[in-house]
Structure 1
Amino acid sequence: MNILAVQPSSKCDSNCLACPWKEKFSCVGVMLPLEALEVLTSNLEDFKFDEGVLICPNPLLHPKIDVITREMGKFCRNITLFLPVSVSRSFLHKTFLENVDFISLIIHTYKDLKSSLQIVKMLLSQGIDNLEAYILLDSNSDFAELFSIIDLCKSYGLKIILGPSFYTSPYTDKFLEKIVKKENVEIGLHYGRKYFYNAIKIFIDNYPVTLLTSPSAENCRTLYLNPYGNFSKCPLSKFEVNYKRITREDLRKMLFSPCPVSQKVIRLSPKIQVSFVTKEGVEIPGEVLELLELISQINSFRGACKVLGVSPSTYWEKIKSLEEKLDISLIISVRGGRKKGITILTDFAKDLLKEYKEIRERAIVSLYEY
């Protein structure tokens, strides 16, 4: 995934705890020169970023934020705007938000969220459906407080992400160790990548939450533009060039250089493959177990295949072949009646899936103990 991260302003009207940018920028009010994006446009030619992110300090404080979002739309397929949840309501004009695809509210504490619910309601009342809660997870996070934040976000139907301050290492290990002991919690399928990190899905009382697990170092293609108009791979990179001197070769070098964040942390990513073998030597492969898990969640065979990016016809044959070898059914397709067009698991498949989840969760947690 190619990601462009832009910080339009070093100024902020919020007072978030543990803000990583206060020390770096002092929040003095430096504003990104619009020429920096014009230079980027001229050097990119037909290249497009999969995602553009506008990150804190508060991007809306830039007087030309509407111009910046329009310019980014020329070379970013999607744009996500990150804002502190305690942002002043006076900046939330709908005209500023029309050019962004997603809005992510950064939440540090339960108190911040509770005192800013009018912000959430205001955004929802403007018809903004792609509203996300980005809950910061760090070494000082209180486990009980995190669940209180999650419960409050759930009540408003927000998409939820648990992750670190951008460009820092996640504190996933302790969180996973605690969460697997909690009732009504499941660790789901591997989500893939989200922003700059690998991610997995967890289900808290059946509500999906994305957990960022480790820096997405493999094929990391990111570019960072700070309020001074300096380009780099990310804030941790030593190679930085101002927009007045940047060349196409410089940009290419930044995009294809190694991930600085990953060099400071463990390289393991929780991608676990679990399979079962019967006493008769019949293997139930991990790919089939993942498919069964998705079917249990969405009650659709074709829908599950679509999510996994596999051919329904191929996997239908695999399921039927496996059922013949086991001499027992795994799925039931209902074609008529009130439940027309759904696929459900048999009792045997449900028991199999339960054991699969338990083993996989223990394996994922054990990865972070090294």
Structure 2
Amino acid sequence: MTRKTSIITIIITFILMSILPFQAWAHNGSRDELGGHFRSADCVYLLHEPTELAKSATNISELITLIKKHNSNSCASELTESKVDLEGYTFSKMAVDSTSTSTNNLLELGKTYDATLEKCTDGDTATFSINGTSYKTRFLYIDTPESTNQQEPYGKEASDFSCSVLQNGQITIETDGPSLFDKYDRLLAWVFVDGKLHQEEITKAGLVEDFYDYGTYKYETRIEAAMLEAKAGGVGLYSENKEAENIQENATKEVVAPTHSEKNDASKEENLTQGHRIESKQNSGSSALGIFAIATVLLFFMFPRFSRKRGIEPLLIHKMWTKNLWVNALLLIPIYTALFFLVLVLLLVEVIRLIKLKAQE
């Protein structure tokens, strides 16, 4: 290459570099869900290719709100209208018109809004229209059985309960907690129907199986009290627990309380025992009477003179008493002695029988 050619090449390169600005193309970077990104040099947001999410904004204020929500860059917190480069994109409505209406569309935490039901999904999810905007809403704090992706016990009952109530009443929603939306972009809110807190009513019906607690919520204690009421009443999900308690209670009563036949058996046994007692008393009386009779006979046989003093004639055997010694001896040995021991044996038998009766009593 000649010297002249080299000089011409250098001049052309210099001219081209002078004409084309260094910043003619902005680096796209890693785009967010709206189709844009922040330029690190000056924190300007560049909207390269607006997505459907970005197009849902009707003005610059709504777009900034979406950017702050869906972009985690540190520049998002200080973003203003002057630092948004739409790169030729225009909103579907006039900025002046949209500013007056869209301000009402933006929800705030701790506020109450009138709502209209658009779609009932299940026991704890529905879509509401609030200020002209649709919001898929997750009912705060409660978790009902599934009835959409899978069918859980009492899932259909929970869905039918919510849909029936929401379709037949004036709906008001109240935002609460640390954030407006969950990770699935669902609005988090308390739902009131005709002035009644829906979460509390469906919990009382026994159609709430659990709570989710990702923060501190305004009506937590009311929902927990409703849960205790549902469990105590044994309604909905907790009816099986109530039936189990009733079965256990009835079983306990059967064990503790005697049956009618057992009562009859006990009564019969008591009557028999009482009869034995009466019989024992009668036997005791007859025993005492027998002993008294034996003692009387003994007195008559052994103490005839004692009987004469009372004006009672002695028995025949005493009349046989004579002054002859040998006759008396004959009477004493075979007759008196035999009678004495006979009476003694009878007396012992009666005493033993009396002791046994006392022991049985």
Q: What is the TM-score of this pair, normalised by structure 2?
A: 0.20
Relative contact order (alpha carbons < 8 A, sep ≥ 6): 1 or 2 greater?
1
Q: Hey, which of these two has a bigger chunk of strand by percent?
A: 1
| Larger fraction in helix | 2
Question: Bigger radius of gyration, 1 or 2?
Answer: 2
TM-score of the superposition, structure 1-length normalised?
0.19
